[in-house]
Amino acid sequence: MAERMTGARFIAESLKGYGVTHVFFVEAILRRSLMEMERLGIRRVLTHSEKAAVYMADGYARVARRPGVCMAQSVGAANLASGLQDPFLGRSPVIAITGRQVPMAQYRHAYQEIAHGPRFEPVTKYNVTVDVLAQLPHLLRQAFREATTGTPGPVHLDLLGYQGQAIEEAEADLEVLVEEPFARIPPYRTMPDPAQVAEAARLLEMAERPVLVAGGGVTASRAGAELLALAERLSIPVATSLNGKPSLLVDHPLNVGVVGRYSRWCANQVVAEADLVAFIGSAAGEMVTLGWKLPRAGTRIVQIDINPAELGRNYPHTLGVLGDARVTLQMLQEALGSKARPKAAWATHAKDLVRRWREELAPHRASGAIPIRPERLCKELTDCLPENGILVGDTGFAGIWTGTQVHLTAPGQDYIRCAGSLGWAFPASLGAKCAAPDRPVVCFTGDGGMWYHLSELETARRCGISTVTVVNNNRALGQCAVNIRKLYANRPGNPGDLFDFGSVSFAALAREMGCLGIQVTQPDGIVPAIRQALAAEVPAVIEVITDVTCPAPEPWAP
């Protein structure tokens, strides 16, 4: 039923109805709506930058599996747009709301204003302006629909008034209508065509060396159990993308690990040897295929995805199966003939490669070296990641370390990772904690990543968002250092100008901001420090001083 109300009330009640519990923003935007949100119990997280607000909304969305909301005024719009690159690449449903100047101020040097639309175009699925309040019900509902359907992704609403005030101050007869499916991911569990499923089953049965590659779609669909059931039924090795990592526990004998660029060599080798690869909830993009070198050209490809535009995009002659990962995997298993034979020898071979990978790594994971080896840090973090913990990884080496060497050992654990923008992990971990306040959240970042959004420690303290941040502090952009040193070779000069940082203590900075800060220099100190941090009632930073000369492994390529 329509009711006379302000835009502010409509916005707040709609967000509440869609299950939004937190909004992340930089002042000055939608002040009246934020006041209404307070009345409704929506937490208002004021951040120090727009990019951090986006990353928090992104971390929130990935953990809550429903849209995360971030907002900024007109001059902040460009910053907000630049932050949206990561949720766009990471396929995360973020709703970005901005304000823009009224028409009479346009095209005549309005203060703080450039055209917003073009900035948002490459990083959103849906990018619209709201010129009058009467449009808002339709456009806000469509924003949730666009963000959550197909491949999830960011959307943008540009509201009239540089703070969006023209929309929120106006009054109209409005109905707060919540379309419940679009409040979550996936909105619908789309059923595949049984004929396509039967053909996929036939190909899996016939293959001698099949591999399942589980992507973020398996995680989003919560299809881990169905993935496992299919893999076990035919003894098929499973590799995952970084986003797919939470679908399978590390110790499962069929799990060969993360494949692609930030990968284990054993996973890459198994995929290179496969005669059939089934991508499930994965777009087979550059990262997971190592620049489309894995699987090798000519390998039979099956691809299961909820978005038909992804089917066969990257590999010709793909058998595409359109459907939700969970439903499709279940139907696929049921479609297997009773005589389908497990690929026992192939699975044993894959398991053997994983064993060799583990044995190679073991000495580094046990290393007592000082400065600490990152592999040892990963081992200690594995040991104390709580059973219901959420691990949040940054990009670069932090993506490789968390993706390949911090293991998920309990079904209640989760992992979300940066899609490429250095510094994402720390604010994203704060958003993750907002989405799951009862679960421990542990962020793993390098010092280069931590410098980006250090100021959000103040946000975390002020808003009572108590996470644990492990800073792998080698006092440099370590990943860059490796390559720049190689480039310089024996040439005289100062390569360190390009990657070294001063020796500032993040632990001391954290304490200054009212957080717990612990510096760790000895390997034996890592676990007690993380345990203390997990038990603390304030945000915590564990700064581990590590060896800059220990790079993460290069990917194995065929």
- Least Å distance, CB 262 to ligand TPP, is 11
Measured from the CB atom, the residue of 201 and 526 that comes closer to ligand TPP is 526
Contact range with ligand TPP by CB under 6 A, out of 76-84, 219-227, 390-398, 462-470: 390-398
- The partner residues of 58 in beta bridges, in order of sequence, read none
Residues in contact with 415: Cβ distance below 8 Å, sequence separation at least 6, in sequence order: 242, 245, 246, 390, 391, 392, 393, 402, 403, 408
516-520/540-545 β-pairing = parallel
* Residue 105 · residue 113 · CB < 8 Å: yes
- Least Å distance, CB 284 to ligand TPP, is 22
Question: Which one of 323, 427, 440, 449 is in contact with ligand TPP (CB under 6 A)?
Answer: 449
Based on the shown chain and the rule CB under 6 A, indicate whether residue 446 belongs to the binding site for ligand TPP: yes
Residues in contact with 257: Cβ distance below 8 Å, sequence separation at least 6, in sequence order: 239, 240, 250, 263, 264, 266, 267, 354, 357, 404
Measured from the CB atom, the residue of 50 and 168 that comes closer to ligand TPP is 50
- Least Å distance, CB 446 to ligand TPP, is 2
Give the sheet arrangement for strand 238-240, strand by strand. Answer: 255-258, 238-240, 210-214, 276-280, 300-305, 319-322
Contact range with ligand TPP by CB under 6 A, out of 220-228, 246-254, 278-286, 416-424: 416-424
First-to-last alpha carbon distance for the chain, in angstroms, is 62
Cα gap 462→337, rounded to integer Å: 58
Measured from the CB atom, the residue of 73 and 479 that comes closer to ligand TPP is 479
- Least Å distance, CB 447 to ligand TPP, is 4
Show contacts with ligand TPP in window 162-221 (CB under 6 A). Answer: none
Measured from the CB atom, the residue of 86 and 158 that comes closer to ligand TPP is 86
- Least Å distance, CB 240 to ligand TPP, is 21
Contact range with ligand TPP by CB under 6 A, out of 218-226, 243-251, 414-422, 425-433: 414-422
Measured from the CB atom, the residue of 226 and 456 that comes closer to ligand TPP is 456
Cα gap 441→392, rounded to integer Å: 7
Based on the shown chain and the rule CB under 6 A, indicate whether residue 79 belongs to the binding site for ligand TPP: no
Measured from the CB atom, the residue of 395 and 413 that comes closer to ligand TPP is 395
- Least Å distance, CB 504 to ligand TPP, is 12
Measured from the CB atom, the residue of 213 and 477 that comes closer to ligand TPP is 477
Buried b / exposed e over 123-157, threshold 16 CB at 10 Å, is bbbbbbebbebebbbebbbbbbebbbbbbbbbbbb
Question: Which one of 83, 164, 187, 448 is in contact with ligand TPP (CB under 6 A)?
Answer: 448
- Least Å distance, CB 64 to ligand TPP, is 25
Show contacts with ligand TPP in window 468-497 (CB under 6 A). Answer: 472, 474, 476-480
Measured from the CB atom, the residue of 98 and 421 that comes closer to ligand TPP is 421
Measured from the CB atom, the residue of 246 and 449 that comes closer to ligand TPP is 449
The site for ligand TPP, by CB under 6 A, has a size of 18
Write down how long the chain is: 558
- Least Å distance, CB 342 to ligand TPP, is 40
Buried b / exposed e over 10-26, threshold 16 CB at 10 Å, is bbbbbbbebebbbbbbb
Q: Closest by alpha carbon to 453, among 428, 478, 432, 477?
A: 428
Measured from the CB atom, the residue of 93 and 393 that comes closer to ligand TPP is 393
Question: Which one of 404, 421, 459, 519 is in contact with ligand TPP (CB under 6 A)?
Answer: 421
Q: Which amino acid is at 249?
A: L
Question: Which one of 67, 396, 539, 555 is in contact with ligand TPP (CB under 6 A)?
Answer: 396
Neighbours of 521 (CB within 10 A): 12
Q: Provide φ and ψ at 246, rounded to 5°.
A: -70, -5
Return the residue nearest ligand TPP (CB atom). 446
Measured from the CB atom, the residue of 24 and 424 that comes closer to ligand TPP is 424
* Residue 364 · residue 375 · CB < 8 Å: yes
Cα gap 176→50, rounded to integer Å: 28
Based on the shown chain and the rule CB under 6 A, indicate whether residue 404 belongs to the binding site for ligand TPP: no
Question: Which one of 447, 518, 519, 534 is in contact with ligand TPP (CB under 6 A)?
Answer: 447
Based on the shown chain and the rule CB under 6 A, indicate whether residue 397 belongs to the binding site for ligand TPP: yes
Q: Which tokens sit at 522?
A: 């000895």
Q: Which tokens sit at 537?
A: 């009632």
Summarize as ranges the residues that interact with ligand TPP (CB under 6 A).
Answer: 395-398, 420-422, 446-449, 472, 474, 476-480
